[in-house]
Amino acid sequence: MLPAASSSSGLSQGNSRVLLMTAKVVSLLAAVFAMLVFCLPGLIRGQAYAAFREVSRAGLLLRTYDMNSRESEHFVVRYQPEDSKYVRLVLDTAEHFYTPVAGRFNFTAHHKIPVIIYPTGSELNASFGWSASESTMGVYWAGAIRVLSPAAWVMDRESAGMRETFISSGPMAHELTHLAVDYATRGNCPRWLTEGLAQYEDYRLTGFRFDTPLPAISDLYPLARLDGDFDSMKNQSVAYYQSLSAVEYIVAVYGEGALDRMIKDLGQGRPISRVMQDILNVNLEQFEQSWHGWLKNVENHSGRQK
């Protein structure tokens, strides 16, 4: 049973100012930390990133101290009063996917995972400083998950229908996979790989796939470019499609064991180029050539796209 909702509305004005100032200081420290982390080598960088992630998570909890809060075994949800009727759904769905995702990536939560619900897309975007034109139902960043309220996108307002839609088509399985991979690799995972893994697990757990037409090989982006500029790609559907298909290729040709070893080696701070060479026996260029050939020759590949 979930504990009753609580909020910080009873805080004195002085305490509120102290918390707000503390949140700003923590956020500033996290920003400075982030600039330093990626200048460090290998395993040291992973250790530094883990510390940065925890500072960022703490900063987000401080910045959302004035929101209502409700907890379950592994999660703490922050929300606005208008979303109180959806909190149980979000918590239940998060717990529903926690065990299979955590088991898949050997992840154990040592603290309750923050999940912040935003009533509108513009408020979710604003929490990251994004433009209002961005469209997303969920985002994982630095130890916390932010989701768009089911009220903003689920058309079926009946309890059973909303629950089914939020579980099967919502962001929780996807974002939880991002979180588990981030912890497993200590942040040392190429963007295309973590996006591919998140979609792969989402499909395995819910059956959901993006409805993306099969693109021409010539329309695919280089994986190295996706790693640094994923969000700036003009055709986001192609970027997500090829991330998933690259992971599917690894599983089909090398097996899930190879994928597990890649994640483990990335967690030890090794670069993706070395990991691919040691585990898949190819460099990135050779991998892309073989993967493209696989895409051309899998007879029912386009039939797998919804």
Domain membership flag for residue 8: no
Is 194 in the same domain as 154? no
Q: Are residues 38 and 145 in the same domain?
A: yes
102 lies in the same domain as 236: no
Last residue of a domain, which of 182, 198, 228? 182
d(CA 113, CA 235): 32
Q: Which domain holds residue 213?
A: 188-304
How many domains does the chain fold into?
2
pLDDT tens series, the chain, 306 aa: 333 333 334 444 555 554 455 545 445 554 554 555 555 555 677 788 888 899 889 989 988 999 999 999 999 999 999 999 999 999 999 999 999 999 999 999 999 999 999 999 999 988 887 765 667 899 999 999 999 999 999 988 888 899 999 999 999 999 999 999 999 999 999 999 999 999 999 999 999 998 888 888 889 999 999 998 998 899 999 999 999 999 999 999 999 999 999 999 999 999 999 999 999 999 999 999 999 999 988 754 455 443
Query: What pTM, to 2 d.p., does this model score?
Result: 0.84
